[in-house]
Amino acid sequence: MNQTSMLVATGLLASLASFAQTPDDCQAFRHHGKQDQARQCFTGLSRSTNPAIAAEGYWGLDDYQQANTLFRTAAGRDKASAAIRVRWGMLFLERFNPQEAANLFQEALLIDRNNADAYLGLAKTAAEGFENKAEEFAKKAIQLNPKLVAAQEFLAYLALEDNNVPRASEQAEKALQISPEALDALSVLATIDWMADKTNSPWADRIWKINPSYGQAYSTAGHFFVINRRYREGIQFYRKALQLEPNLWEARSQLGANLMRLGDYTAARQELEKAYAAGYRNAQTVNSLRLLDSYKNYETFRSGDAVLRLQKKESALLKLYFQPELERDIAYYERKYQMKLKEPVQLEVYPDHEDFAVRTMGLPGLGALGATFDTVVAMDSPSARPPGEFHWATTLRHEMSHVFVLTATDDRVPRWFAEGLAVHEETVASPDWGDRMTPDVIAALQQKKLLPLLDLDKGFVRPSYPDQVVVSYFEAGKICDYISHKWGDAALLGMIHSFANHKNTTEAIQENLHLQPAAFDQMFLTWIDGQTKNTVQHFDEWKKRAKGLPALAKQQRYDDVIREGTAIRDWYPDYVEENSVYEMLADAYLAKGDKKDAISQLERYRDIGGRNPATLKKLAQAEQQAGNAVAAIDTLSRLNYIYPEDGDLHKRLGDLLIAAGKTDTSIREYKAVLAWQPVDPANSHYELARALNTAHRAGEARDEVLQALELAPNYKPAQQLLLQLTK
């Protein structure tokens, strides 16, 4: 960002009288692309006996350590200088330490509570974390100093991050009124043109006239393309930025990170290593390189249009489930969205959530489970989270929706629609998939906090309250549910086409639903109110009475548990977390010896989306004991989509399946037992051999039984099977 005039505003110039050139002069050279002169100028500053001035010099020469040391000295000497603290904070912000930067800006405000530059610093710090306060701070800076062009430019930048193009243009124009050479305002305006596919932007021409080598303009564009999921174009812009300014390390790091997102690991490593070697070692660069190093521990499987990358320690197991599910999703979306992908989908599954997190950026507040970058999907492995915490097949179905919708629209799709459609698809797959309505969402519904359709993107990108991202996912999903329910899937498909034709939300709604967004909002709110009013109205009462159930159970007052639980269960049927009413009721029925009703409660729990593996296994056992093997198979099969990393699950399911004559699926389950490195591998090979033999796959059965005997040569059942197979 432009730093011209920063020092004028903060009054440091007074101490520069004895120098021929000031920091503003140096920044002015840089602003106009006169790099040699800028360097010469900064070298001059670095010789200053004033540590604050010398710090500016060293900073300009990229000697950040020396600059930091000198700022510390300067701040120590001049305890009343807010300006020094602001500049020092800006250095920290540039060098990847927003926390320390924020501390210094706050310190500056304690000295001078009307320091506009400190507010600008806080705005930039908040923006790093996509905090809603960024705009508030920037506005405060402008209010305190209406001529602070950098703050005005920053407001334009923030508006564009919110996808509010008219506002971004308006803010940028205001910045240009303050300074016609406001390069970052021009960059925002040029980006708006580039994102609208106007390749010849007049704003860009103005930029090059001021500074022919201003790579930052392209880098800014790269950022906006990326946050709008237009990764390939983002990469092109980062490349252009680096052609103009090869030392623009932030752009190089971003280029590497985005090449990595799209699966080009070799090129990504090259760029990231260059940035790292040049001292650009922010968390993203370092973590990305570490992640690239860890890829040697991954295996790649290819089949048809699917490429699957799994960590070696769990690849044998997960391949059995992820590969067919990925293929099923591809076939489903090809059919539903009437399109074929141009290139294979690559799915990467990470057993360490932190590894996955390195690939996910830009969305705050939500513990993301999956992320899509064009046709590359990265997601948590079931093993990355405690058992029952998430439904991996739901996450895959969600991300695969993104793959198709982003491809169909050439990435021109608003976030609310992309996320909403993906959430909608989760429960289309099966009602027990997807997320249940959480207390955060109920609270938002009670407080009428749902956003109008045209503002919904902001709920994802810059939430105004802690759970707004979760609420926005819920709302967007319900909007797509409503469209599907009232206008049919054809309307959703039509909207995809509208977005593909570069129509905005208003136009897409008009074209396909023949409504204005405001009218749609009204209809939707009426509908969602009808859908949720039972829970919304009774939630407080439910909460109060549900809390009493564990105490009743502890006192063994099972009749009271049943009476109370039955009375409140359907007020909030989506609650399937700890101490769910279903489980409390099932336990009470069991305690009274009523297995039938206990099973019935747990089946409700399962069907509504209950995911506790222990509860589901308990249900399967009860179903099996009740002679309902089909139901037990159903229950355990659903668990495969939740937490397949459980040898006991596969053994039990395999046994049930083979007894039910479903040999093919039993074979998969016995393979899963083996893949999970059982404590008794000889027995596991033997059971797989038995299933293969039943499926008349004698050759494979013989291989397996020989493996059993190799481990346990005197294992009699295996010996007998070998003799049988040899006959």
Q: State the residues that interact with other proteins by CB under 8 A.
A: 383, 385-387, 645-646, 677-683, 702, 706, 709-716, 718-720, 722-723, 726
Q: In angstroms, what is the minimal distance from the CB of 320 to other proteins?
A: 19
Take residue 217 and report the two structure tokens written for it: 């303009």
The smaller minimum CB distance to other proteins, of residues 121 and 647, is found at 647
Listed residue (352, 373, 343, 347) closest to 361, CA to CA: 373
Edge-first strand order for the sheet with 376-380 is 298-303, 306-311, 345-350, 376-380, 370-373
One-character DSSP codes across 259-307? HHHTT-HHHHHHHHHHHHHTT---HHHHHHHHHHHHGGGEEEEEETTEE
Q: In angstroms, what is the minimal distance from the CB of 578 to other proteins?
A: 15
Angle CA 579–582–586, to nearest 5: 100
Q: In angstroms, what is the minimal distance from the CB of 706 to other proteins?
A: 5
The smaller minimum CB distance to other proteins, of residues 382 and 414, is found at 382
The smaller minimum CB distance to other proteins, of residues 154 and 643, is found at 643
The smaller minimum CB distance to other proteins, of residues 376 and 718, is found at 718
The smaller minimum CB distance to other proteins, of residues 387 and 439, is found at 387
The smaller minimum CB distance to other proteins, of residues 62 and 703, is found at 703
Q: How many Å separate Cα 187 from the centre of its chain?
A: 27
Listed residue (702, 695, 709) closest to 724, CA to CA: 702
The span from the CA of 171 to the CA of 142, in Å, is: 11
The smaller minimum CB distance to other proteins, of residues 607 and 703, is found at 703
Q: In angstroms, what is the minimal distance from the CB of 81 to other proteins?
A: 47
Q: In angstroms, what is the minimal distance from the CB of 300 to other proteins?
A: 23
The span from the CA of 210 to the CA of 727, in Å, is: 88
Q: In angstroms, what is the minimal distance from the CB of 231 to other proteins?
A: 32
The span from the CA of 362 to the CA of 637, in Å, is: 35
Q: In angstroms, what is the minimal distance from the CB of 612 to other proteins?
A: 13
Quick check: helix, strand or coil at residue 12? helix
Angle CA 366–368–373, to nearest 5: 130
The backbone region for 448, taken as left when phi is positive above 0, alpha when psi lies in -120 to 50, beta otherwise, is left
The smaller minimum CB distance to other proteins, of residues 273 and 680, is found at 680
Q: In angstroms, what is the minimal distance from the CB of 708 to other proteins?
A: 9
The span from the CA of 629 to the CA of 219, in Å, is: 60
Give the residue carrying structure tokens 């404590």: 679
Q: In angstroms, what is the minimal distance from the CB of 721 to other proteins?
A: 9
The backbone region for 162, taken as left when phi is positive above 0, alpha when psi lies in -120 to 50, beta otherwise, is alpha
Q: In angstroms, what is the minimal distance from the CB of 701 to other proteins?
A: 13
CA torsion sign for 256, 260, 262, 266 is positive
CA torsion angle 590 592 594 600 (round to 10): -50
Residues 162/132, Cβ–Cβ less than 8 Å: no
Q: In angstroms, what is the minimal distance from the CB of 640 to other proteins?
A: 16
Quick check: helix, strand or coil at residue 11? coil
Q: In angstroms, what is the minimal distance from the CB of 617 to other proteins?
A: 13
The smaller minimum CB distance to other proteins, of residues 183 and 705, is found at 705
Listed residue (390, 400, 368) closest to 436, CA to CA: 390
Take residue 391 and report the two structure tokens written for it: 């439904």
The backbone region for 163, taken as left when phi is positive above 0, alpha when psi lies in -120 to 50, beta otherwise, is left
The smaller minimum CB distance to other proteins, of residues 492 and 653, is found at 653
The span from the CA of 617 to the CA of 643, in Å, is: 11
Listed residue (374, 381, 375) closest to 356, CA to CA: 381
Take residue 53 and report the two structure tokens written for it: 């001035």
Q: In angstroms, what is the minimal distance from the CB of 144 to other proteins?
A: 48
Listed residue (406, 273, 408, 289) closest to 337, CA to CA: 408
Residues 312/299, Cβ–Cβ less than 8 Å: yes
CA torsion angle 42 45 46 52 (round to 10): -120
The backbone region for 252, taken as left when phi is positive above 0, alpha when psi lies in -120 to 50, beta otherwise, is alpha
The smaller minimum CB distance to other proteins, of residues 131 and 646, is found at 646
Residues 380/350, Cβ–Cβ less than 8 Å: yes
Q: How far is CA 17 from CA 13, 23, 38, 45, in A?
A: 7, 12, 19, 12
The smaller minimum CB distance to other proteins, of residues 267 and 711, is found at 711
The smaller minimum CB distance to other proteins, of residues 589 and 676, is found at 676
Give the H/E segment covering residue 377: strand 376-380
Q: In angstroms, what is the minimal distance from the CB of 615 to other proteins?
A: 15
The CA-to-CA distance between both ends of the chain, in Å, stands at 81
The smaller minimum CB distance to other proteins, of residues 200 and 726, is found at 726
Q: In angstroms, what is the minimal distance from the CB of 554 to other proteins?
A: 16
Q: In angstroms, what is the minimal distance from the CB of 387 to other proteins?
A: 6
The smaller minimum CB distance to other proteins, of residues 303 and 720, is found at 720
Q: In angstroms, what is the minimal distance from the CB of 703 to other proteins?
A: 8
The smaller minimum CB distance to other proteins, of residues 506 and 719, is found at 719
The smaller minimum CB distance to other proteins, of residues 565 and 678, is found at 678
Q: How many Å separate Cα 88 from the centre of its chain?
A: 32
